Amino acid sequence: MPISKSAKKSLRQNTKRRKRNLWYKKRMKSLIKEFHSLIHANKKEEAEKLLPNIFKIIDKSAKVGILKKRTAARKKSKITKKTI
């Protein structure tokens, strides 16, 4: 356990950031899994309706620093190719 005041604050910050990062990761992964399941079920119209939400969460996670910019671009590109 932290002893100094600054170490205690650092621990609070880290736990808050960890929760936020995990929320973004879980949300992104669940949306991508849902997208893949729709593609495999040949429901392309529904999958295309899900694309803006996926792009939004990927962009936001890249902005916050969970993903790197090029990783986000790569993920978006792969998802877009699957709808074609």
Count structural domains, the chain. 1
Distances (CA, A) of 31 to 7, 62, 76: 36, 16, 12
Provide the Cα torsion 71, 77, 78, 80; round to 10°.
150
Q: Are 54 and 34 in contact (CB under 8 A)?
A: no
d(CA 26, CA 15): 16
Q: Are 83 and 51 in contact (CB under 8 A)?
A: yes
Domain that holds residue 18: 5-83
**Tens-place pLDDT, residues 17-75:** 999 999 999 999 999 999 999 999 999 999 999 999 999 999 999 999 999 999 999 99
Stated pTM of the model: 0.83
pLDDT of residue 1: 84
Q: What is the CATH number of the domain that holds 35?
A: 1.20.58.110
